[in-house]
Amino acid sequence: MRRALIVMLVALCLSLVGGPFNAGTVQAKTQKVDAWMTIRALKPAVGCSVDVSVEVRSGGQVVTGADVALALSVDGDGTVLSVDRGTTDGSGLAYLTFDTSDGWVGAKTWLELVVNGSYLGGWTVRLTSDGACEGTNKLVDLSGDVRSTSDSVVDSPAERTAADNSDSIIDNTPAYAQKRSLSCEYASLRIATGALGNGISEWDFDNRVGWHENPHKGYRGDINGKWGNTDDYGVYPEPLVPALADFGFRGEVFYGLGETSELKGHLDRGHPTVVWLGMWGNTSFKATDNAGDRYQLTPGMHVMVAYGYDSGGVHLSDPATGSFRYYDWGTFRWMWDEMDGMSLAVSWA
């Protein structure tokens, strides 16, 4: 059965329960896009890593900085086998892969494409015992309305301040790429503490934070798991505060709840701020831990470090790509508000 991304649809249904807060969200503008997904193998063997390229255009013009996600799931029961995410480059292209290792011979799967949080469609992929991992080059033509974004990626610290002299910028904020698939929170602490002059290794946070089903109490799931799901997930800001204190840093947890004033205030005071973002928009649902405490989970959650802002948007250091990134306020709020403005400002103790 062809259907929108199972992870997202299930979460959307469950989100009717409501989040921990009732702050309003910013509605981002949409645009019509055409996308071409080239799949390198339609009948790969179990154990293949298959390359997929995606080109995104709007009105014939390339769309740069678009968030592109692929999900491979079992057709029928929706079991997710593989998720990958990337960003379109200056040519409007994103290069992704899907992994068939968690499938089985004979499985009928559905490869789904999501652009800027909007489902565009997909194609059937059948898993075999001896199929090639490349060579098919099937081109799938898709189109639809997606959220607009003026997200841009810059290559150097000089570029990030060149556009607007009125920026509130924390100088010397580093770019750093996370070393594990789901270590963006710890990598973001590496970036934030590095901006303050003493970058702490992401590995140093593992045992200090610990593990728990409730991400407000510890790290949820396998840090080497697949991005986008909620079983192998991550951690929220509260458990990070005592871990930062071990290294002489102060972590201040706050929730924007639809307002940006507290975030701007911390950046004005030179506090790099870790921000939790729902990259797929409205996908959140509620869960309950063994102690009876309720918490929110958000498929497509990711963490970056805000290090500056101007009238147009927010400057961030993104550990997923090891690059500097800029989101307009509407796009940033669309993702940040999904997490209730969840944030952790970092400063010296």
Q: Can you give the CATH number for the domain in which 262 is found?
A: 3.90.70.10
In a shared domain, residues 143 and 165: no
Per-residue pLDDT of 207-235, as tens digits, reads 999 999 999 999 999 999 888 889 999 99
Given 113, 147, 181, the domain boundary residue is: 147
Tell me if 46 is assigned to some domain.
Answer: yes
In a shared domain, residues 269 and 141: no
Tell me if 23 is assigned to some domain.
Answer: no
Two tokens, residue 121: 């469609």
pLDDT at 6: 39
In a shared domain, residues 174 and 317: yes
pLDDT, average across residues 314-325: 91
In a shared domain, residues 228 and 324: yes
Note down the domain range covering 133.
29-147
Tell me if 3 is assigned to some domain.
Answer: no
Tell me if 1 is assigned to some domain.
Answer: no
pLDDT at 11: 33
In the chain, the number of structural domains is 2
Tell me if 24 is assigned to some domain.
Answer: no
For the cut 50, the answer to whether the pLDDT of residue 2 exceeds it is no
In a shared domain, residues 273 and 125: no
Which of these, 182, 176, 295, lies nearest to 228 by C-alpha position? 182
In a shared domain, residues 125 and 254: no
Per-residue pLDDT of 23-61, as tens digits, reads 333 444 678 899 999 999 999 999 999 999 999 998 888
In a shared domain, residues 85 and 166: no
pLDDT, average across residues 107-135: 93
- CA-CA distance, 51 to 74, in Å (whole number)? 19
Given 147, 166, 186, the domain boundary residue is: 147
For the cut 80, the answer to whether the pLDDT of residue 72 exceeds it is yes
If phi over 0 gives left and psi between -120 and 50 gives alpha, with beta otherwise, what is residue 256? alpha
In a shared domain, residues 47 and 157: no
- CA-CA distance, 333 to 260, in Å (whole number)? 9
Query: Which percentage of the chain shows pLDDT scores above 90?
Result: 65
Tell me if 203 is assigned to some domain.
Answer: yes
In a shared domain, residues 73 and 169: no
Given 147, 169, 196, the domain boundary residue is: 147
For the cut 50, the answer to whether the pLDDT of residue 178 exceeds it is yes
For the cut 60, the answer to whether the pLDDT of residue 146 exceeds it is yes
Q: Which residues contact 23 (CB under 8 A, 6 or more apart)?
A: 256, 257, 258, 337, 340, 341
- CA-CA distance, 148 to 31, in Å (whole number)? 6
For the cut 90, the answer to whether the pLDDT of residue 156 exceeds it is no
> Does the global pTM surpass 0.75?
no
For the cut 50, the answer to whether the pLDDT of residue 4 exceeds it is no
pLDDT at 8: 41
Give the pLDDT band of residue 148 (cuts 50, 70, 90): low
In a shared domain, residues 162 and 204: yes
For the cut 70, the answer to whether the pLDDT of residue 187 exceeds it is yes
Tell me if 33 is assigned to some domain.
Answer: yes
Which of these, 27, 67, 260, 57, lies nearest to 152 by C-alpha position? 67
Give the pLDDT band of residue 109 (cuts 50, 70, 90): very high
pLDDT at 296: 97
Residue 140 sits in a domain whose CATH number is: 2.60.40.1930
For the cut 50, the answer to whether the pLDDT of residue 17 exceeds it is no
Give the pLDDT band of residue 153 (cuts 50, 70, 90): low
In a shared domain, residues 182 and 329: yes
- CA-CA distance, 278 to 46, in Å (whole number)? 31
Alpha helices in 197-295 (DSSP H): 206-209, 240-245, 261-268
Tell me if 20 is assigned to some domain.
Answer: no
pLDDT at 166: 47
pLDDT at 48: 96
**Integer CA distances (angstroms), 65 to 117, 264, 343, in order:** 13, 24, 23
Give the pLDDT band of residue 157 (cuts 50, 70, 90): low
Per-residue pLDDT of 197-209, as tens digits, reads 999 999 999 999 9
In a shared domain, residues 57 and 128: yes
